[in-house]
Structure 1
Amino acid sequence: MATHTKITAPVTALVMAGKRSGALDPLAEAAGVAQKAVVPVNGVPMIERVVAAVAACPEVAAIRIVAHEPDEIAAIPLIAALMEEGRLAFAEGRFNIVDSVLSGAQGVDFPLLITTADNCLVTPEGYREFIAKCLAEDAQGAAGLATREAVQEADPVGQKRFYEFSDGGYSNCNMYWIGSREALSAAEIMREGGQFMKYPSRIIKAFGLVNLIRFRLGWGTKEKLFAQISRRFGFKLVPVVLSDGHYAIDVDEERTLGVTEKILKRREGDRSGSAPAA
Protein backbone atom coordinates (compact mmCIF):
# COMPACT_ATOMS: atom_id res chain seq x y z
CA MET A 1 0.00 0.00 0.00
CA ALA A 2 1.23 3.48 -0.79
CA THR A 3 3.16 5.36 1.91
CA HIS A 4 2.04 8.84 2.86
CA THR A 5 2.54 11.67 5.30
CA LYS A 6 0.30 11.60 8.36
CA ILE A 7 -2.80 13.72 7.82
CA THR A 8 -3.30 16.85 9.88
CA ALA A 9 -5.79 19.72 9.81
CA PRO A 10 -6.66 22.31 8.52
CA VAL A 11 -9.26 20.89 6.19
CA THR A 12 -10.61 22.20 2.88
CA ALA A 13 -14.36 21.67 2.43
CA LEU A 14 -15.71 20.95 -1.05
CA VAL A 15 -19.46 21.55 -1.32
CA MET A 16 -20.85 19.85 -4.41
CA ALA A 17 -23.61 22.05 -5.84
CA GLY A 18 -23.72 21.16 -9.53
CA LYS A 19 -26.56 20.15 -11.78
CA ARG A 20 -27.07 16.52 -12.71
CA SER A 21 -26.44 16.24 -16.45
CA GLY A 22 -26.91 20.01 -16.61
CA ALA A 23 -30.70 19.61 -16.41
CA LEU A 24 -33.08 21.75 -14.34
CA ASP A 25 -34.03 19.83 -11.21
CA PRO A 26 -37.80 19.44 -10.60
CA LEU A 27 -37.45 20.94 -7.10
CA ALA A 28 -35.68 23.98 -8.55
CA GLU A 29 -38.35 24.37 -11.19
CA ALA A 30 -41.09 24.21 -8.57
CA ALA A 31 -39.27 26.81 -6.41
CA GLY A 32 -38.65 29.15 -9.35
CA VAL A 33 -34.87 29.04 -9.07
CA ALA A 34 -32.20 27.99 -11.56
CA GLN A 35 -30.65 25.15 -9.57
CA LYS A 36 -31.47 22.76 -6.77
CA ALA A 37 -28.75 24.12 -4.46
CA VAL A 38 -30.71 27.32 -3.81
CA VAL A 39 -34.11 25.74 -3.25
CA PRO A 40 -35.31 27.04 0.14
CA VAL A 41 -35.83 24.43 2.85
CA ASN A 42 -37.78 25.88 5.76
CA GLY A 43 -37.06 29.30 4.32
CA VAL A 44 -33.28 28.94 3.90
CA PRO A 45 -31.49 27.96 0.66
CA MET A 46 -30.00 24.47 0.92
CA ILE A 47 -26.49 25.61 0.02
CA GLU A 48 -26.62 28.30 2.71
CA ARG A 49 -27.38 25.69 5.37
CA VAL A 50 -24.50 23.45 4.33
CA VAL A 51 -21.96 26.26 3.97
CA ALA A 52 -22.95 27.68 7.35
CA ALA A 53 -22.42 24.25 8.94
CA VAL A 54 -18.96 23.65 7.45
CA ALA A 55 -17.92 27.27 8.08
CA ALA A 56 -18.71 26.79 11.77
CA CYS A 57 -16.12 23.99 12.01
CA PRO A 58 -12.79 25.29 13.40
CA GLU A 59 -10.99 22.51 11.49
CA VAL A 60 -12.20 23.87 8.13
CA ALA A 61 -10.00 26.62 6.72
CA ALA A 62 -11.08 27.07 3.10
CA ILE A 63 -14.42 26.33 1.43
CA ARG A 64 -14.79 25.62 -2.26
CA ILE A 65 -18.25 25.41 -3.87
CA VAL A 66 -18.34 23.37 -7.07
CA ALA A 67 -21.21 24.67 -9.22
CA HIS A 68 -22.32 25.11 -12.80
CA GLU A 69 -24.06 28.44 -12.13
CA PRO A 70 -22.21 30.27 -9.35
CA ASP A 71 -23.84 33.69 -9.69
CA GLU A 72 -27.16 32.65 -8.15
CA ILE A 73 -25.33 31.05 -5.22
CA ALA A 74 -22.89 33.95 -4.81
CA ALA A 75 -25.83 36.33 -4.33
CA ILE A 76 -26.69 34.69 -0.99
CA PRO A 77 -25.44 37.09 1.72
CA LEU A 78 -23.58 34.43 3.74
CA ILE A 79 -21.78 33.20 0.62
CA ALA A 80 -20.93 36.75 -0.42
CA ALA A 81 -19.52 37.52 3.04
CA LEU A 82 -17.29 34.42 3.05
CA MET A 83 -16.05 35.31 -0.42
CA GLU A 84 -15.24 38.82 0.80
CA GLU A 85 -13.25 37.30 3.67
CA GLY A 86 -11.30 35.23 1.16
CA ARG A 87 -12.40 32.00 2.82
CA LEU A 88 -14.72 30.79 0.04
CA ALA A 89 -14.25 30.44 -3.72
CA PHE A 90 -16.01 28.68 -6.58
CA ALA A 91 -14.85 25.91 -8.89
CA GLU A 92 -16.45 24.94 -12.18
CA GLY A 93 -18.90 22.06 -12.03
CA ARG A 94 -18.56 19.17 -14.47
CA PHE A 95 -21.27 16.76 -15.52
CA ASN A 96 -20.34 13.91 -13.22
CA ILE A 97 -19.38 14.07 -9.58
CA VAL A 98 -15.85 12.66 -9.92
CA ASP A 99 -14.77 15.20 -12.51
CA SER A 100 -16.43 17.89 -10.40
CA VAL A 101 -14.39 16.76 -7.38
CA LEU A 102 -11.23 16.91 -9.49
CA SER A 103 -12.19 20.43 -10.59
CA GLY A 104 -12.80 21.49 -7.00
CA ALA A 105 -9.53 19.97 -5.82
CA GLN A 106 -7.36 22.02 -8.18
CA GLY A 107 -5.01 24.22 -6.19
CA VAL A 108 -6.48 23.49 -2.75
CA ASP A 109 -4.85 22.19 0.40
CA PHE A 110 -5.54 18.67 1.62
CA PRO A 111 -7.22 16.91 3.35
CA LEU A 112 -10.61 17.41 1.71
CA LEU A 113 -14.01 17.08 3.32
CA ILE A 114 -16.54 16.54 0.53
CA THR A 115 -20.23 17.12 1.12
CA THR A 116 -23.28 17.97 -0.97
CA ALA A 117 -25.47 21.05 -1.11
CA ASP A 118 -28.57 19.02 -0.18
CA ASN A 119 -27.15 17.78 3.17
CA CYS A 120 -29.47 20.15 5.03
CA LEU A 121 -29.63 18.16 8.27
CA VAL A 122 -25.90 17.85 8.94
CA THR A 123 -24.88 20.10 11.81
CA PRO A 124 -21.45 21.59 12.50
CA GLU A 125 -21.10 18.90 15.17
CA GLY A 126 -21.74 16.24 12.53
CA TYR A 127 -18.98 17.54 10.27
CA ARG A 128 -16.63 17.87 13.24
CA GLU A 129 -17.36 14.27 14.25
CA PHE A 130 -16.60 13.06 10.72
CA ILE A 131 -13.37 15.08 10.49
CA ALA A 132 -12.19 13.90 13.91
CA LYS A 133 -12.81 10.24 13.09
CA CYS A 134 -11.05 10.52 9.71
CA LEU A 135 -8.03 12.15 11.34
CA ALA A 136 -7.98 9.60 14.14
CA GLU A 137 -7.89 6.79 11.55
CA ASP A 138 -5.28 8.61 9.46
CA ALA A 139 -7.59 7.77 6.56
CA GLN A 140 -6.60 8.52 2.99
CA GLY A 141 -10.22 8.09 1.98
CA ALA A 142 -13.44 7.66 3.94
CA ALA A 143 -17.20 7.60 3.59
CA GLY A 144 -19.64 8.70 6.27
CA LEU A 145 -22.32 6.13 7.16
CA ALA A 146 -25.22 5.88 9.59
CA THR A 147 -26.79 2.70 10.92
CA ARG A 148 -30.25 1.68 9.80
CA GLU A 149 -31.45 1.96 13.41
CA ALA A 150 -30.16 5.53 13.78
CA VAL A 151 -31.67 6.60 10.45
CA GLN A 152 -35.05 5.11 11.22
CA GLU A 153 -35.01 6.67 14.67
CA ALA A 154 -34.40 10.05 13.04
CA ASP A 155 -37.36 9.51 10.69
CA PRO A 156 -39.08 6.25 9.72
CA VAL A 157 -39.30 7.17 6.01
CA GLY A 158 -36.45 9.67 5.68
CA GLN A 159 -34.18 7.16 3.95
CA LYS A 160 -35.22 3.90 2.33
CA ARG A 161 -31.95 2.59 0.87
CA PHE A 162 -29.39 0.76 2.95
CA TYR A 163 -26.17 -1.09 2.19
CA GLU A 164 -26.30 -4.54 3.75
CA PHE A 165 -23.26 -5.97 5.53
CA SER A 166 -22.95 -8.89 7.90
CA ASP A 167 -22.85 -6.41 10.79
CA GLY A 168 -26.03 -4.59 9.77
CA GLY A 169 -27.54 -2.10 7.36
CA TYR A 170 -25.97 1.31 6.75
CA SER A 171 -26.93 4.38 4.76
CA ASN A 172 -24.61 6.81 3.01
CA CYS A 173 -24.39 10.30 4.56
CA ASN A 174 -22.93 11.97 1.43
CA MET A 175 -19.79 12.85 3.39
CA TYR A 176 -16.45 11.81 1.93
CA TRP A 177 -12.80 12.33 2.79
CA ILE A 178 -9.73 12.54 0.59
CA GLY A 179 -6.58 12.68 2.67
CA SER A 180 -4.03 13.70 0.05
CA ARG A 181 -3.69 14.65 -3.58
CA GLU A 182 -2.24 11.20 -4.26
CA ALA A 183 -5.43 9.62 -2.90
CA LEU A 184 -7.70 11.48 -5.35
CA SER A 185 -8.01 8.25 -7.34
CA ALA A 186 -10.35 7.09 -4.54
CA ALA A 187 -12.87 9.65 -5.80
CA GLU A 188 -13.77 7.04 -8.41
CA ILE A 189 -15.96 5.51 -5.68
CA MET A 190 -18.32 8.48 -6.09
CA ARG A 191 -18.66 8.35 -9.89
CA GLU A 192 -22.23 8.88 -11.06
CA GLY A 193 -23.27 9.89 -7.57
CA GLY A 194 -22.33 6.60 -5.97
CA GLN A 195 -25.77 5.10 -6.58
CA PHE A 196 -24.50 1.55 -6.26
CA MET A 197 -27.81 0.17 -5.00
CA LYS A 198 -29.46 1.01 -8.32
CA TYR A 199 -26.50 0.36 -10.61
CA PRO A 200 -24.33 -2.59 -9.50
CA SER A 201 -22.13 -2.20 -12.58
CA ARG A 202 -20.67 0.87 -10.87
CA ILE A 203 -19.30 -1.29 -8.07
CA ILE A 204 -17.64 -3.52 -10.67
CA LYS A 205 -15.99 -0.49 -12.23
CA ALA A 206 -14.91 1.02 -8.92
CA PHE A 207 -14.26 -2.00 -6.73
CA GLY A 208 -14.07 -5.14 -8.89
CA LEU A 209 -16.39 -8.07 -9.52
CA VAL A 210 -15.43 -10.13 -6.46
CA ASN A 211 -16.20 -7.22 -4.15
CA LEU A 212 -19.54 -6.70 -5.91
CA ILE A 213 -20.50 -10.32 -5.20
CA ARG A 214 -19.45 -9.99 -1.56
CA PHE A 215 -21.35 -6.71 -1.26
CA ARG A 216 -24.57 -8.00 -2.83
CA LEU A 217 -24.57 -11.16 -0.70
CA GLY A 218 -23.76 -9.26 2.49
CA TRP A 219 -20.59 -11.25 3.09
CA GLY A 220 -18.34 -9.67 5.66
CA THR A 221 -18.39 -6.51 7.70
CA LYS A 222 -18.13 -3.03 6.25
CA GLU A 223 -14.57 -2.88 7.60
CA LYS A 224 -13.63 -6.02 5.66
CA LEU A 225 -15.07 -4.65 2.43
CA PHE A 226 -13.30 -1.31 2.86
CA ALA A 227 -10.03 -3.15 3.59
CA GLN A 228 -10.42 -5.07 0.34
CA ILE A 229 -11.17 -1.85 -1.54
CA SER A 230 -8.13 -0.25 0.11
CA ARG A 231 -5.92 -2.96 -1.36
CA ARG A 232 -7.44 -2.33 -4.79
CA PHE A 233 -6.75 1.42 -4.66
CA GLY A 234 -3.49 1.29 -2.68
CA PHE A 235 -4.73 3.75 -0.05
CA LYS A 236 -6.33 3.34 3.36
CA LEU A 237 -10.08 3.75 2.90
CA VAL A 238 -12.33 3.46 5.95
CA PRO A 239 -16.04 3.51 6.80
CA VAL A 240 -16.88 6.20 9.36
CA VAL A 241 -20.05 5.53 11.31
CA LEU A 242 -21.66 8.75 12.53
CA SER A 243 -23.75 9.07 15.65
CA ASP A 244 -26.84 10.79 14.24
CA GLY A 245 -29.11 9.15 11.66
CA HIS A 246 -30.38 12.56 10.47
CA TYR A 247 -27.10 12.93 8.55
CA ALA A 248 -28.20 10.23 6.07
CA ILE A 249 -31.36 12.14 5.09
CA ASP A 250 -30.77 14.54 2.22
CA VAL A 251 -33.11 16.35 -0.16
CA ASP A 252 -33.47 14.22 -3.28
CA GLU A 253 -37.07 14.84 -4.28
CA GLU A 254 -40.43 16.08 -3.00
CA ARG A 255 -40.81 13.35 -0.34
CA THR A 256 -37.42 13.93 1.26
CA LEU A 257 -37.88 17.69 0.99
CA GLY A 258 -41.03 17.30 3.08
CA VAL A 259 -39.26 15.08 5.62
CA THR A 260 -36.34 17.51 5.89
CA GLU A 261 -38.59 20.53 6.34
CA LYS A 262 -40.58 18.73 9.04
CA ILE A 263 -37.38 17.96 10.98
CA LEU A 264 -36.01 21.49 10.56
CA LYS A 265 -39.26 23.04 11.77
CA ARG A 266 -38.96 20.97 14.93
CA ARG A 267 -35.39 22.23 15.40
CA GLU A 268 -35.77 25.89 14.58
CA GLY A 269 -39.45 26.75 14.24
CA ASP A 270 -41.31 27.52 11.04
CA ARG A 271 -39.16 29.79 8.87
CA SER A 272 -40.92 28.96 5.61
CA GLY A 273 -42.29 32.50 5.36
CA SER A 274 -38.73 33.78 4.84
CA ALA A 275 -37.98 35.01 1.37
CA PRO A 276 -35.47 32.93 -0.63
CA ALA A 277 -32.16 34.54 -1.50
CA ALA A 278 -32.16 36.90 -4.46
Structure 2
Amino acid sequence: MRSIGQSFSAIVLAADREAENPVAAAAGVRCKSLASVNGIPMIFRVLGALSASGKIDSVLLCGPPGSIVKEERELDDYLTSGQADWMESQATPSLSAYEALKSQPADKAVLLTTSDHALLSPRVVTYFLDEAEKSGCDVIAAVARRETVMSAYPQTSRTAYRFRDGAYCSCNLFAFITPQSRTVPSFWRQVEQQRKNPFKVISILGWLTVFRYLAGRLTLSDAMGQLSQRLGCRAGVVVMPYPEAAIDVDSAEDLQLVRQIALHK
Protein backbone atom coordinates (compact mmCIF):
# COMPACT_ATOMS: atom_id res chain seq x y z
CA MET A 1 0.00 0.00 0.00
CA ARG A 2 1.24 3.49 -0.86
CA SER A 3 2.17 5.71 2.09
CA ILE A 4 0.99 9.30 2.29
CA GLY A 5 3.77 11.76 1.53
CA GLN A 6 5.77 9.65 -0.92
CA SER A 7 7.06 11.29 -4.07
CA PHE A 8 5.38 11.25 -7.48
CA SER A 9 6.57 10.80 -11.02
CA ALA A 10 5.40 13.53 -13.38
CA ILE A 11 4.31 13.20 -16.98
CA VAL A 12 4.15 16.40 -19.03
CA LEU A 13 2.24 16.26 -22.31
CA ALA A 14 4.17 18.63 -24.55
CA ALA A 15 3.05 18.02 -28.13
CA ASP A 16 0.80 20.28 -30.20
CA ARG A 17 -2.68 19.00 -31.05
CA GLU A 18 -2.52 20.36 -34.59
CA ALA A 19 0.10 20.74 -37.32
CA GLU A 20 -0.16 24.55 -37.34
CA ASN A 21 -0.61 25.66 -33.75
CA PRO A 22 -1.91 29.23 -33.40
CA VAL A 23 -0.01 29.89 -30.17
CA ALA A 24 3.26 28.74 -31.72
CA ALA A 25 2.57 30.88 -34.77
CA ALA A 26 1.81 33.95 -32.62
CA ALA A 27 4.99 33.43 -30.59
CA GLY A 28 7.19 32.66 -33.61
CA VAL A 29 8.34 29.27 -32.26
CA ARG A 30 8.34 25.71 -33.57
CA CYS A 31 5.79 24.37 -31.08
CA LYS A 32 3.48 25.81 -28.44
CA SER A 33 5.57 24.51 -25.53
CA LEU A 34 8.37 26.85 -26.53
CA ALA A 35 6.27 30.02 -26.46
CA SER A 36 7.91 32.44 -24.06
CA VAL A 37 6.21 33.87 -20.99
CA ASN A 38 8.30 36.75 -19.72
CA GLY A 39 11.50 35.31 -21.12
CA ILE A 40 10.95 31.69 -20.10
CA PRO A 41 9.48 29.08 -22.47
CA MET A 42 6.28 27.61 -21.06
CA ILE A 43 7.74 24.12 -20.92
CA PHE A 44 10.54 25.31 -18.62
CA ARG A 45 8.10 27.17 -16.40
CA VAL A 46 6.23 23.89 -15.89
CA LEU A 47 9.40 21.89 -15.33
CA GLY A 48 10.64 24.48 -12.85
CA ALA A 49 7.41 24.38 -10.84
CA LEU A 50 7.50 20.60 -10.67
CA SER A 51 11.12 20.56 -9.51
CA ALA A 52 10.64 23.30 -6.90
CA SER A 53 7.58 21.62 -5.39
CA GLY A 54 9.71 18.92 -3.76
CA LYS A 55 6.98 16.38 -4.58
CA ILE A 56 8.39 15.03 -7.86
CA ASP A 57 11.31 12.62 -8.18
CA SER A 58 11.25 12.04 -11.95
CA VAL A 59 9.79 13.70 -15.02
CA LEU A 60 8.82 12.27 -18.39
CA LEU A 61 8.18 14.64 -21.29
CA CYS A 62 5.83 13.27 -23.92
CA GLY A 63 6.77 15.50 -26.85
CA PRO A 64 7.70 17.81 -28.43
CA PRO A 65 8.70 15.79 -31.52
CA GLY A 66 12.27 14.57 -31.61
CA SER A 67 13.01 16.72 -34.66
CA ILE A 68 12.21 19.82 -32.61
CA VAL A 69 14.06 18.67 -29.49
CA LYS A 70 17.28 18.20 -31.48
CA GLU A 71 17.11 21.76 -32.79
CA GLU A 72 16.30 23.38 -29.44
CA ARG A 73 19.63 23.55 -27.63
CA GLU A 74 18.26 24.42 -24.18
CA LEU A 75 15.71 21.61 -24.23
CA ASP A 76 18.15 19.09 -25.68
CA ASP A 77 20.72 19.97 -22.99
CA TYR A 78 18.05 19.63 -20.29
CA LEU A 79 17.21 16.12 -21.44
CA THR A 80 20.82 15.11 -22.05
CA SER A 81 21.70 16.14 -18.50
CA GLY A 82 19.16 13.63 -17.18
CA GLN A 83 16.84 16.16 -15.57
CA ALA A 84 13.94 14.60 -17.48
CA ASP A 85 13.26 11.67 -19.76
CA TRP A 86 11.56 12.01 -23.14
CA MET A 87 9.30 9.94 -25.36
CA GLU A 88 7.66 10.65 -28.69
CA SER A 89 4.04 11.76 -28.46
CA GLN A 90 1.18 9.72 -29.91
CA ALA A 91 -1.63 10.75 -32.23
CA THR A 92 -3.84 12.12 -29.44
CA PRO A 93 -3.33 13.32 -25.85
CA SER A 94 -5.14 10.29 -24.44
CA LEU A 95 -2.92 7.89 -26.37
CA SER A 96 0.13 9.84 -25.24
CA ALA A 97 -1.04 9.62 -21.62
CA TYR A 98 -1.76 5.90 -22.01
CA GLU A 99 1.68 5.12 -23.41
CA ALA A 100 3.45 7.36 -20.91
CA LEU A 101 1.64 5.80 -17.96
CA LYS A 102 2.51 2.31 -19.23
CA SER A 103 6.18 3.27 -18.92
CA GLN A 104 5.82 3.96 -15.19
CA PRO A 105 5.86 1.25 -12.47
CA ALA A 106 2.29 0.25 -11.62
CA ASP A 107 2.75 1.06 -7.94
CA LYS A 108 4.17 4.53 -8.61
CA ALA A 109 1.88 7.52 -8.15
CA VAL A 110 1.90 9.83 -11.16
CA LEU A 111 1.05 13.47 -11.73
CA LEU A 112 -0.07 14.28 -15.27
CA THR A 113 -0.07 17.84 -16.56
CA THR A 114 0.55 19.80 -19.76
CA SER A 115 3.36 22.02 -20.98
CA ASP A 116 0.99 24.96 -21.62
CA HIS A 117 0.21 25.24 -17.90
CA ALA A 118 2.43 28.31 -17.83
CA LEU A 119 1.18 29.63 -14.48
CA LEU A 120 1.85 26.38 -12.67
CA SER A 121 3.64 27.05 -9.39
CA PRO A 122 5.19 24.91 -6.65
CA ARG A 123 2.36 25.79 -4.25
CA VAL A 124 -0.26 24.67 -6.79
CA VAL A 125 1.55 21.36 -7.34
CA THR A 126 2.03 20.77 -3.61
CA TYR A 127 -1.54 21.66 -2.66
CA PHE A 128 -3.03 19.44 -5.34
CA LEU A 129 -0.90 16.39 -4.59
CA ASP A 130 -1.29 16.69 -0.82
CA GLU A 131 -5.08 16.89 -1.15
CA ALA A 132 -5.16 14.13 -3.76
CA GLU A 133 -3.36 11.76 -1.42
CA LYS A 134 -5.77 12.53 1.42
CA SER A 135 -8.80 11.90 -0.79
CA GLY A 136 -8.69 8.11 -0.70
CA CYS A 137 -9.41 8.04 -4.43
CA ASP A 138 -7.61 6.17 -7.18
CA VAL A 139 -7.61 9.02 -9.69
CA ILE A 140 -8.13 12.70 -8.94
CA ALA A 141 -8.54 15.79 -11.11
CA ALA A 142 -7.99 19.39 -10.09
CA VAL A 143 -10.83 21.84 -10.66
CA ALA A 144 -11.46 25.44 -9.68
CA ARG A 145 -14.75 27.16 -9.04
CA ARG A 146 -15.60 29.36 -11.98
CA GLU A 147 -16.41 32.23 -9.62
CA THR A 148 -12.91 31.95 -8.14
CA VAL A 149 -11.34 32.19 -11.60
CA MET A 150 -13.58 34.95 -12.94
CA SER A 151 -13.35 37.13 -9.86
CA ALA A 152 -9.56 37.14 -10.16
CA TYR A 153 -9.31 37.23 -13.96
CA PRO A 154 -12.61 38.48 -15.46
CA GLN A 155 -10.96 38.94 -18.85
CA THR A 156 -10.40 35.20 -19.33
CA SER A 157 -12.76 32.76 -21.04
CA ARG A 158 -12.82 29.27 -19.53
CA THR A 159 -15.01 26.27 -20.28
CA ALA A 160 -17.08 25.45 -17.18
CA TYR A 161 -19.15 22.47 -16.08
CA ARG A 162 -22.26 23.70 -14.30
CA PHE A 163 -23.54 21.57 -11.43
CA ARG A 164 -26.17 22.14 -8.77
CA ASP A 165 -23.46 23.17 -6.32
CA GLY A 166 -21.65 25.51 -8.74
CA ALA A 167 -19.69 25.78 -11.97
CA TYR A 168 -16.20 24.33 -12.18
CA CYS A 169 -13.26 24.73 -14.57
CA SER A 170 -10.66 22.08 -15.29
CA CYS A 171 -7.08 22.71 -14.17
CA ASN A 172 -5.13 20.23 -16.33
CA LEU A 173 -3.76 18.44 -13.28
CA PHE A 174 -4.47 14.74 -12.75
CA ALA A 175 -3.14 12.38 -10.11
CA PHE A 176 -3.02 8.62 -10.69
CA ILE A 177 -2.52 7.25 -7.20
CA THR A 178 -3.13 3.50 -7.51
CA PRO A 179 -2.65 0.77 -10.15
CA GLN A 180 -6.44 0.76 -10.64
CA SER A 181 -6.23 4.30 -11.98
CA ARG A 182 -4.20 3.22 -15.00
CA THR A 183 -7.38 2.23 -16.88
CA VAL A 184 -8.50 5.86 -17.03
CA PRO A 185 -6.69 7.01 -20.23
CA SER A 186 -8.64 4.50 -22.31
CA PHE A 187 -11.85 6.13 -21.04
CA TRP A 188 -10.33 9.54 -21.68
CA ARG A 189 -10.12 8.62 -25.37
CA GLN A 190 -13.93 8.62 -25.47
CA VAL A 191 -14.20 12.16 -24.19
CA GLU A 192 -11.15 14.08 -25.46
CA GLN A 193 -12.79 15.14 -28.71
CA GLN A 194 -15.61 16.70 -26.67
CA ARG A 195 -13.43 18.41 -24.07
CA LYS A 196 -14.87 21.87 -24.87
CA ASN A 197 -18.48 20.65 -24.81
CA PRO A 198 -19.59 19.90 -21.21
CA PHE A 199 -22.97 18.52 -22.35
CA LYS A 200 -21.38 15.88 -24.59
CA VAL A 201 -18.87 14.94 -21.90
CA ILE A 202 -21.63 14.49 -19.35
CA SER A 203 -23.67 12.43 -21.84
CA ILE A 204 -20.97 9.73 -21.81
CA LEU A 205 -22.01 9.03 -18.20
CA GLY A 206 -25.53 8.05 -19.37
CA TRP A 207 -28.77 9.78 -20.30
CA LEU A 208 -30.17 9.82 -16.77
CA THR A 209 -27.09 11.76 -15.77
CA VAL A 210 -27.69 14.10 -18.72
CA PHE A 211 -31.27 14.78 -17.64
CA ARG A 212 -30.14 15.53 -14.10
CA TYR A 213 -27.39 17.79 -15.45
CA LEU A 214 -29.79 19.72 -17.69
CA ALA A 215 -32.30 20.03 -14.87
CA GLY A 216 -29.64 21.48 -12.61
CA ARG A 217 -29.96 18.58 -10.18
CA LEU A 218 -26.56 16.96 -10.66
CA THR A 219 -23.90 17.86 -8.11
CA LEU A 220 -20.18 17.52 -8.73
CA SER A 221 -20.12 14.71 -6.17
CA ASP A 222 -22.92 12.93 -8.06
CA ALA A 223 -20.95 13.22 -11.28
CA MET A 224 -17.85 11.74 -9.63
CA GLY A 225 -19.95 8.86 -8.35
CA GLN A 226 -21.24 8.14 -11.85
CA LEU A 227 -17.75 8.47 -13.28
CA SER A 228 -16.36 6.06 -10.68
CA GLN A 229 -18.90 3.45 -11.80
CA ARG A 230 -17.90 3.87 -15.44
CA LEU A 231 -14.19 3.72 -14.66
CA GLY A 232 -14.30 0.86 -12.18
CA CYS A 233 -12.19 2.86 -9.73
CA ARG A 234 -12.69 5.72 -7.28
CA ALA A 235 -12.59 9.09 -9.03
CA GLY A 236 -12.54 12.39 -7.21
CA VAL A 237 -11.63 16.05 -7.48
CA VAL A 238 -9.60 18.58 -5.57
CA VAL A 239 -11.12 22.06 -5.63
CA MET A 240 -8.20 24.44 -6.01
CA PRO A 241 -8.15 27.79 -4.19
CA TYR A 242 -5.73 29.23 -6.76
CA PRO A 243 -7.49 30.76 -9.80
CA GLU A 244 -4.38 30.64 -11.97
CA ALA A 245 -4.49 26.84 -11.76
CA ALA A 246 -7.37 26.91 -14.25
CA ILE A 247 -5.63 29.05 -16.87
CA ASP A 248 -3.72 27.28 -19.61
CA VAL A 249 -2.76 28.56 -23.05
CA ASP A 250 -5.09 27.49 -25.83
CA SER A 251 -4.96 30.66 -27.92
CA ALA A 252 -2.84 33.69 -28.71
CA GLU A 253 -5.17 35.68 -26.44
CA ASP A 254 -4.50 33.24 -23.60
CA LEU A 255 -0.77 33.71 -24.14
CA GLN A 256 -1.07 37.48 -23.77
CA LEU A 257 -3.18 37.10 -20.63
CA VAL A 258 -0.74 34.65 -19.04
CA ARG A 259 2.15 36.99 -19.80
CA GLN A 260 0.31 39.82 -18.02
CA ILE A 261 -0.53 37.66 -14.99
CA ALA A 262 3.02 36.32 -14.74
CA LEU A 263 4.39 39.85 -14.46
CA HIS A 264 2.68 40.17 -11.07
CA LYS A 265 3.44 36.69 -9.73
TM-score, structure 1 normalization: 0.85
The superposition leaves residues 180-206 of structure 1 with CA deviations (integer Å, 9 ceiling, x where unpaired) of 33322222454364744426444444x
1:111 is the counterpart of 2:113: no
State the alpha-carbon separation in 2 of the partners of residues 76 and 154 from structure 1: 37
Matched, 1:133 2:94: no
The alpha-carbon deviation at position 154 of structure 1 amounts to: 2.2
Offset from partner CA, 1:111-130 (integer Å, 9 cap, x none): 11111111111211101101
Pick from 146, 149, 152 the counterpart of residue 151 of structure 1. 149
* Alignment partner of 1:20 out of 17, 20, 37: 17
Greater than 6 Å deviation, 4+ residue runs: none
User: Within 2, Cα distance between the matches of 1:7 and 1:103?
Assistant: 26
Instruction: Please state whether the residue corresponding to 2:91 is helix, strand or coil.
Output: coil
CA-to-partner distance for each residue in 1:190-224, whole Å, 9 max, x for gaps?
4364744426444444x333333333443232112
One of 49, 66, 71 as aligned partner of 1:53: 49
SS at match of 1:56: helix
Looking at structure 1, the residues matched to 209 and 186 of structure 2 have their Cα atoms a distance apart, in angstroms, of 15
* Residues 225-264 of structure 1, C-alpha deviations (whole Å, 9 max, x = no match): 1022112212110011011111101111021111111101
**Paired residue for 2:85, among 82, 85, 89?**
89
Q: Which amino acid aligns with 1:52?
A: G
Q: Counterparts of 1:157 and 1:195 in 2: how far apart (Å)?
A: 24
Q: Judging changes above 3 Å, is the alpha-carbon distance between structure 1 residues 200 and 171 closer, same or farther for their aligned structure 2 residues?
A: same
For residues 11 and 170 of structure 2, the distance between their equivalents in structure 1, rounded to whole angstroms, comes to 17
Deviation per CA, 1:79-99: give whole Å up to 9, x if none: 734651x34101221121111
- What per-residue deviation string (whole Å, max 9, x for no partner) do you get for residues 121-165 of structure 1? 121110110100110112211110011221012210223321111
Pick one of 28, 36, 40 that aligns with 1:32: 28
User: Which residue among 42, 65, 80 is the counterpart of 2:77?
Assistant: 80
Q: Could you say what secondary structure the match of 2:45 adopts?
A: helix
Q: Which amino acid letter does the alignment assign opposite residue 33 of structure 1?
A: V
The alignment's C-alpha RMSD in Å is 2.3
1:187 maps to which residue? 185
Residues 103 and 7 (structure 1), Cα distance of their counterparts in 2 relative to 1, 3 Å cut: farther
Q: Which moved more, 1:183-192 or 1:38-47?
A: 183-192
Which has the larger displacement, 190-199 or 54-63?
Answer: 190-199
Worse-superposed segment, 101-110 or 58-67: 101-110
2:219 to 218, 221, 227: 221
- Separation of aligned partners in 2, 1:133 and 1:248: 17
Deviation (angstroms), 1:76: 5.6
SS at match of 1:174: strand
Q: Give yes or no for contact 1:196–1:203 (8 Å, CA) kept in 2.
A: no
Q: Which residue of 2 aligns with 1:245?
A: 243
CA contact (8 A) 2:194 2:200 kept: no
- Give the conservation status (yes or no) of the 8 Å contact 1:145–1:239: yes
- The whole-number CA distance in structure 1 between the counterparts of 2:44 and 2:76 is 7
Q: Distance in 1 between matches of 2:79 and 2:3?
A: 26
Taking the aligned partners of 1:173 and 1:76, their CA distance within structure 2 comes to: 30
One-letter amino acid of the counterpart of residue 102, structure 1: Y
Q: Structure 2: how far apart are the matches of 1:194 and 1:51?
A: 27
**Consecutive unaligned residues in structure 2, runs of 5 or more:** none
Q: Is the 8 A contact 1:115 1:174 kept in 2?
A: yes
Q: CA deviation at 1:71?
A: 5.2
CA shift for structure 1 position 103: 1.6
| Percent identity of paired positions between Structure 1 and Structure 2 | 26
Q: CA deviation digits over 1:48-82, x for unaligned, max 9?
A: 11111111121211101111414545746377346
Secondary structure in 1 matching 2:162: strand
**8 Å Cα contact 1:61/1:87 also seen in 2:** no
1:38: how far off?
A: 0.6
Q: TM-score, normalised by structure 2?
A: 0.88
- Which segment drifts farther, 64-73 or 31-40? 64-73
